[in-house]
Amino acid sequence: MTVLPIRKSPDLIGVLDLQGGVHEHLEHLDRLEIPSRRVKDASDFTGLAGLILPGGESTCLARLITIFGLKDVILQHYRLGMKIWGTCAGAILLAEKVLGENSCLGLIDIEIERNGFGSQLDSFVAESMIPAVSGEILPLTFIRAPKILKTGKEVNVLLRIDDYIAAAENDGVLVTVFHPELTGSVAFHRYFSEKCGLTPQSEAAVISDWGMLSWMKHARIAS
């Protein structure tokens, strides 16, 4: 009798490591004790339950995804069940429509505007309740952020502020125009981990003494 090997369920979350804020996401996942890895080439997608597209410069990221031949790889693994979360520039990469530009991955039915608030000098912080994500008020960091202007019927709006949408999702994709990884809150990383079918540490077990430079240990490991 032939014994077939047991296929292990995906149990990792990857962070696309081409450009942008990678280390901060890894640090937040580490606090939740979610296994994670940097993703740079096709072989790094093995075992991924989810992929984070970090903030950075969306045009640069789109070009690098093309140069390194990762677009088809991302789309293939998405179709096989891998969830994707895009923060800021990552949200632009995932949008079906980008004002004045061609879309990159087009995996969520939203219309988004790059630099929706203006230049880098117009970056700001805020707070808001997002009931689907957490029962507490969450800190929000907007850095040269885009604005989600419209969503399709199959998109669930998680956060609307004034005349724009700041967070939304469909079954396979989560997008935030702000940067949860630049705050001490792990609420969005917990939410995404659970969306990926993973079990993060309980709230009480998460280390609370977070600082803006606490992610630097990942930078040292990578160097």
In a domain, 130, yes or no: no
* 33 within domain boundaries: yes
Any domain includes 4: no
Mean pLDDT (whole number) for 190-207: 84
Q: What per-residue confidence (pLDDT) applies to 104?
A: 96
CATH number of the domain enclosing 167: 3.40.50.880
Inside any domain, residue 25: yes
What's the chain's average pLDDT?
Answer: 88
> 156: pLDDT confidence band, cut at 50, 70 and 90?
very high
Task: Please say if the pLDDT value at position 221 is more than 90.
Answer: no
Write out the catalytic residue numbers: 88, 179, 181
What value does the mean pLDDT take over residues 109-128? 79
Q: Around Cβ 213, how many Cβ atoms within 10 Å?
A: 9
Domain containing 164 equals: 12-114+146-222
Residue 124 confidence (pLDDT): 79
Q: Which long-range contacts (CB under 8 A, 24 or more apart) does 121-126 make?
A: 126/161
Confidence of residue 170 (pLDDT cuts 50, 70, 90): very high
Within-domain flag for 211 = yes
**How would residue 115 be classed by pLDDT, with cut points 50, 70 and 90?**
confident
Sign of CA dihedral 114, 83, 160, 120: negative
**pLDDT higher for 212 or 41?**
41
Name the helix (H) or strand (E) containing 138.
strand 137-142
Tens of pLDDT, residues 31-82:
999 999 999 999 999 999 999 999 988 999 999 999 999 999 999 999 999 9
Find how far residue 42's CA is from the centre of its chain.
Answer: 19
* Amino acid residing at 183: T
The answer as to whether 5 is a domain residue is no
Q: What is the pLDDT of residue 201?
A: 81
Does residue 100 carry a pLDDT above 90? no
pLDDT of residue 222: 45
Residue 174 lies inside a defined structural domain of this protein: yes
On whether residue 52 sits in a domain, the answer given is yes
Domains identified in the chain, total number: 1
pTM score = 0.88
The reported pLDDT for the residue numbered 6 is: 46
